[in-house]
């Protein structure tokens, strides 16, 4: 009998797995002994026996306890927080829940774009200050504009990027995308770029949206040189990982006016410190890492886990298995 340890609890209800799911797993898979831990101490008591772990991560300091562990499934799409050298070198398989928040993240990115194109960010600031503020729009520098005909550049063209491309095209935008392997036909983007065309790609976009995973290769990919290669007067939107963008360099191109604005859901340090200069820029929109949030998050992650558990017990390849060395 395979031992499954489920440890998904939080002070926030949305990140706590409903009790119905461990019961469902036990009923659906009678060959699996299911333990649902309610706190860290209980999870550590059962970790030594677990063959399968369904949790946000396996902390490095607890890896030595997981002597029988063969497979870890995480409810998140990104696994950069869960990987460390000892786990990478181990025989433990890792699967993730890639795709369960793609639509939400695409909606979030589009909402950030609309904040700039229609002047919503400034209007909300005026509302909070109790000011009408229409003269600032009429003056011309902050004139709202249409998305029709604008170019959206999507850096990383996975499930999030493709959902965003569909939404952008519905707004009449031209879609440019950059992906690691641009080979093959794809009728969704108007132009598809490869890594060697990065500089050209950056210079084409009115809105650059970052949807890359965080890996050794992508960390800091938007450094000073990359940000300066962006089209003058363009906007940066990051809904992926904060460490992809060097914030000091971003502050520089915002202060110089090279970029017209930036919308950020993720940051190099989270929570974003109160002292961050980003709070003071009127052309910056900040959200507290909620881009992928929706009420069905753990439901979808667990549905994927159930499919994968069935495959695991049959000896079939697992869906969304992570290449631990590549980082995604």
Q: Which positions are annotated as active-site residues? A: 241, 270, 289
- At which residue do the structure tokens 């469902």 appear? 24
CB burial of residue 80 (10 Å; 0-12, 13-18, 19+): middle
Residues 6+ away with beta carbon under 8 Å from 220: 243, 244, 245, 246
Cβ contacts of residue 209 below 8 Å, gap of 6+? 109, 113, 152, 153, 154, 155, 161, 164, 237, 238, 239
Task: Compute CA distances 316 → 13, 304, 311, 312, whole Å.
Answer: 33, 14, 5, 6
Which residues, 6 or more positions from 83, have their beta carbon under 8 angstroms from its beta carbon?
94, 322, 324, 327
Give the three-class secondary structure for 113.
helix
Query: Looking only at Cα atoms, what is the longest distance across the chain?
Result: 72
Beta-bridge partner residues of 175: 152
Tell the burial category of 252 from Cβ atoms under 10 Å away from its Cβ (0-12, 13-18, 19+): middle
């Amino acid at each position: 009998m395979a031992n499954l340890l489920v440890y998904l609890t939080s002070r926030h209800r949305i990140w706590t797995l409903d009790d119905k799911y461990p019961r469902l797993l036990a009923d659906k898979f009678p060959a699996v002994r299911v333990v649902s831990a309610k706190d860290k101490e209980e999870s550590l008591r059962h970790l030594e026996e677990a063959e399968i772990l369904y949790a946000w991560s396996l902390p490095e300091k607890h890896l030595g306890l997981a002597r029988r562990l063969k497979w870890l499934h995480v409810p998140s799409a990104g696994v950069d927080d869960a990987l460390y050298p000892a786990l990478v070198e181990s025989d433990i398989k890792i699967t993730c829940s890639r795709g369960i928040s793609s639509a939400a993240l695409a909606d979030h990115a589009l909402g950030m774009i609309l904040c700039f194109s229609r002047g919503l960010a400034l209007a909300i600031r005026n509302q909070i200050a109790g000011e009408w503020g229409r003269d600032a729009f009429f003056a011309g520098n902050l004139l709202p504009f249409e998305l029709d005909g604008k170019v959206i550049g999507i850096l990383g063209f996975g499930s999030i990027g493709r959902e965003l491309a569909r939404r952008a095209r519905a707004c009449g935008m031209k879609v440019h995308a950059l992906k690691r392997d641009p080979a093959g036909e794809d009728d969704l983007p108007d132009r598809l770029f490869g890594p060697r065309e990065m500089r050209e790609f950056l210079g084409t976009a009115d809105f650059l949206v970052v949807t890359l995973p965080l890996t050794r290769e992508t960390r800091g990919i938007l450094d000073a040189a990359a940000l300066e290669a962006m089209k003058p007067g363009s906007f940066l939107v990051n809904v992926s990982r904060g460490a992809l963008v060097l914030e000091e360099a971003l502050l520089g191109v915002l202060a110089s006016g090279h970029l017209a604005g930036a919308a950020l859901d993720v940051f190099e340090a989270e929570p974003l410190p109160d002292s961050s200069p980003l709070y003071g820029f009127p052309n910056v929109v900040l959200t507290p890492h909620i881009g992928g949030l929706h009420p069905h998050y753990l439901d979808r992650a667990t549905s994927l886990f159930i499919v994968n558990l069935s495959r695991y017990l049959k000896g079939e390849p697992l869906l969304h298995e992570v290449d631990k060395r590549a980082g995604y």
